[in-house]
Amino acid sequence: MKKKTVRDVDPKGKRVFVRVDFNVPLQDGKIVDDSRIKAALPTLNDLLDRGASLIIASHLGRPKGKVKPELSLAPVARRLEELIGRSVKMLSDCIGPDVEKAAGGLKPGDVVMLENVRFHAEEEKGDEALAKQLAGLADLYVNDAFGAAHRAHASTAVIAQFLPSAAGLLVEKEVQVLTQLLEDPERPFAAALGGVKAKIGVLENLMAQVDTLIIGGGQAYTFLKAKGLEIGQSVFDEGSFELAKGILSKTEGGRPQLLLPVDVVVTTPEGVEFEPTVKRVEGAPIEVAASDAIPADMMGVDIGPETRKLFAEAIGNARCVVWNGPMGIAEIPEFTEGTRAVARAVADSDAYSVIGGGDVVAAVEQLGFAEKFSHVCTGGGASLEFLEGKELPGIAALPDR
């Protein structure tokens, strides 16, 4: 990595402002998954071991510039305290006289956590005044929030203008892994993309890199329609339709090999409720249909059994696999079999495997396969933009070595 990292700085006796991504799922005020907190521990422990005091900042949810008690980082501070084995003082705001006083009194080894930075609307606007206030709390800025690195927010990018800055160990690792995928992957290299919408830039960039392109999930139906097939009531992304036709044309010669579903699991549109939470309506029909024979009154909700075998075989032949997006409606158990089959195929393979994207990571963790992957990206949107070839603002703002 060309950017300066914590390895290149001396934090001894310094107050270090560490931007992390502790945007963890909460249920009834309790943390459902603490993997993002654990992912930041190497950086936090390294700085503490070398004599720093820490001012930890993160966002949580989308409060849209308003104070929402249910999106307080207090539960996160308690969990972090347990994980690092030392006191973590939770502050009531991220700026202001009380915060400045607490930061000014820090001694080596002390840790404080700021309240949700998105309680201030200026955060997402990339406001310089807010960035300066945050920078005034510390002597050094470390960005270890890869999951927010694609955002040019006050605490993820702008603050780096006002403090000596460096990347954390997690950001360094994520960049190294994704750079390796784009520049020198082991071959054969397979990419499996699911989810609802086709990621236009990612598809175009990966087309030049991969040997096999596997497309499932909701975006597959846009490709099937581009082939002239009937997709019934299945999700259709009109904005990606021309892209899909272009990719079909470019892959006609088999370079890269393009794999689309040959069969799908279908149900009626009334068989799935999406609000307030995604769930299956009891008694709704579930059938398997060939991808060229989807009934006009039904919609695809998962890849079918023959497609699972097809995708698994391609993954089994690969030496490197990157996967983003579930193969079906992963929130509904009956429609997770495609995602499970792909996860199992990757787990059983010897390929170097990278998984990214919140929905698919959550599904794979729930299915018990996460530990089988070589690398689990902590940032879905950030990893996609990186694979698209875009420069991430939170990383671009850091100085080179």
- Residues 328, 385, 326, CA angle at the centre, nearest 5°? 10
Catalytic (active site) residue 151 = no
Name the 3-class secondary structure at 27.
strand
Starting at the edge strand found earlier in the chain, the sheet holding 299-303 runs 287-290, 263-267, 299-303
Encoded tokens for 392: 């991430």
The enclosing H or E element of 71 equals none
DSSP β-ladder status, 189-193 and 320-324 = parallel
Q: What stretches of 330-376 show up as alpha helix (H) in DSSP?
A: 337-348, 358-367
Dist. CA 266–CA 134, nearest whole Å:
51
Give the gyration radius of the chain's Cα atoms: 23
Per DSSP, helices labelled H in 227-355 are 241-250, 305-316, 337-348
Instruction: Say if residues 29 and 149 touch (Cβ distance below 8 Å).
Output: no
Of 78, 125, 197, 372, catalytic: 197
Whose CA is closest to 347, among 368, 328, 324? Answer: 368
Q: Alpha-carbon distance 364 to 372, whole Å? A: 10
- The single residue of 3, 19, 36, 118 carrying the catalytic annotation is 36
Known catalytic membership, residue 381? yes
Sequence-distant (≥ 6) Cβ neighbours of residue 391 within 8 angstroms? none
Kindly name the residue from 132, 358, 372, 390 that is annotated as catalytic.
358
Token code pair at residue 35: 């993997």
Decide if 36 is catalytic. yes
CA dihedral for 76, 79, 83, 84, sign (positive or negative):
positive
Annotation says 232 is catalytic? no
Q: How far apart are CA 94 and CA 74, in angstroms?
A: 13
- Token duo for residue 298: 């039904």
Name the residues annotated as catalytic: 36, 197, 358, 381
